[in-house]
Structure 1
Amino acid sequence: MAWCISDGYVRQVTWNEDTELITLMLWGPGDLILGSQATFECRNETTTISHVSLEGHTPTDVERHEALKRQISRSMEIMRISRIRKADDRLLTMLRWLAAQFGRVNSLGHSLSLEDMNLTHQVIAELTGLTRVTVTKSLNKFKSLAQAIPMAHGDLLLPHRADTDGFRACRSVTENSRHRQGLPPGSSPHDRGAAGYTPSNS
């Protein structure tokens, strides 16, 4: 017997002597959690990240084989990312991997729903082995460099790598235009008539 995830996200974790969580595996919609998951010799725990809907399923040999292949591949990738030394590189690589695995692709890049996956800064910290403070600082840095762009409904756009410079240049041109018009950063020309707007004297 196995469990098929129809909605939500599940992770398997272990922990070290300092009780720090180490992520071993992640599952999402459409994935099979095999009944033998809890037979590993190392101490581990399978927990939900978000609200989860499961359905019992008896897999065929082919389905079981594919599920095991997917699990090994994902676990190896999670371990590889966790060994990246520089915090910024590790976090950005993890976000891109999560978006590629569980997000949506479009012409601009991969869109990752932080809300649907319940990816709080604390959860992201646990997934990457970083502190919550480091995650918050790095995310703010990525946003300023257009490496991670906040979208509607709690989505985060991870642009195709070749497009990052274009997003950054577009943002720079926009901010320069606002400056020439005497507008504060992040505002628009329509704000001139808004209550509380004070033109710049520069």
Structure 2
Amino acid sequence: MNSAHCPSIIYRFERHHRLPTRKNSLWQIHEGLVRTVTWDDDGRVIVLGYWGVGSVVGYGIDQMDPYDIQPLTAVSVTSISLNSALASSYLLAHQKQTNELLGLLHCHPMDNRLLRFIIWLAQRFGVSKKHGIEVRFLLTHQEIAETLGTNRVTITRLIKQLESNGKLHWSRKRRLIPYQTFDRYGQTP
């Protein structure tokens, strides 16, 4: 039977229920958002990327050990073979996003790094609203700190500072980056 004609099984995972990592297959995301991570020798999380609808993720691409795929929202995924033409067609997009994230990690000072990361999230996963771009999923201050190589207290302080300067609105209920913030930082939404 030709596998191209077989319907794929859709797997669903809730936030923080890890996707199984397999050596010979990848996950294609149809709904939701995940992050891929590894750990250093001291157990500190190293974020490898954020992936949304259409992305393909898995150990076979990142080749990191340990390796984890963590849903940041509820996700729907299908399994694809590591050797499929579809998998290889996503490698360039995967590399581009990894390079963008790596570039963000070298921005200084930390408030600039944080703001550029939030702008990057909004551009990639946000929804246009009347006054700005809304990020519709919740990232904890700890998850942001892990991504940017700092601690939760610093992120909390910097988010409050960016809010007081009118550069963003960031709370559990609302995460909005005003269009003026994009204009000031030379980024287009």
Q: Same fold (TM over 0.5)?
A: yes
Are residue 159 (structure 1) and residue 178 (structure 2) matched?
A: yes
1:76 positional shift? 0.8
Counterpart of 1:154, as a letter, is: K
Counterpart of 2:3 in structure 1 is none
1:66 positional shift? 3.9
Counterpart among 110, 121, 139 of residue 119 in structure 1: 139
Contact 1:12 1:45 in 2 (8 A): yes
Counterpart of 1:92 in structure 2 is 115
What is the CA–CA distance in structure 2 between the aligned matches of 1:68 and 1:163, rounded to whole Å?
A: 29
**Who wins on radius of gyration, i.e. which is larger?**
1
Q: Deviations over 1:126-151 (max 9, x none)?
A: 12112111111111111111100258
Aligned residue runs from structure 1 range 1-202, under 5 A: 1-33=25-57, 36-37=60-61, 40=63, 43-57=66-80, 61=85, 63-106=86-129, 108-113=131-136, 116=137, 118-150=138-170, 154-161=173-180
What is the CA–CA distance in structure 2 between the aligned matches of 1:5 and 1:81, rounded to whole Å?
A: 24
Structure 1 unaligned blocks of 5 or more: 166-202
SS in 2 for 1:36: helix
Contact 2:167 2:181 in 1 (8 A): no
1:102 positional shift? 0.7
What is the CA–CA distance in structure 1 between the aligned matches of 2:127 and 2:141, rounded to whole Å?
A: 21
Contact 1:147 1:164 in 2 (8 A): no
Count of residues in Structure 1 that have an aligned counterpart in Structure 2: 159
Q: Which moved more, 1:71-80 or 1:47-56?
A: 47-56
What is the CA–CA distance in structure 1 between the aligned matches of 2:169 and 2:27, rounded to whole Å?
A: 34
CA RMSD of aligned residues (A): 2.7
Distance 1:155 1:18, change over 3 A: same
What is the CA–CA distance in structure 2 between the aligned matches of 1:85 and 1:25, rounded to whole Å?
A: 20
SS in 2 for 1:154: coil
Which is bigger in relative contact order (C-alpha 8 A, separation at least 6)? 2
Q: Deviations over 1:18-71 (max 9, x none)?
A: 322111121112322257236x1554332222332212346963x434421111
Q: Percent identity?
A: 27
Q: Deviations over 1:96-140 (max 9, x none)?
A: 001111111345332112xx3x31111111121121111111111
Counterpart of 1:5, as a letter, is: I
What is the CA–CA distance in structure 2 between the aligned matches of 1:73 and 1:104, rounded to whole Å?
A: 22
User: Which one has the bigger helix percentage?
Assistant: 1
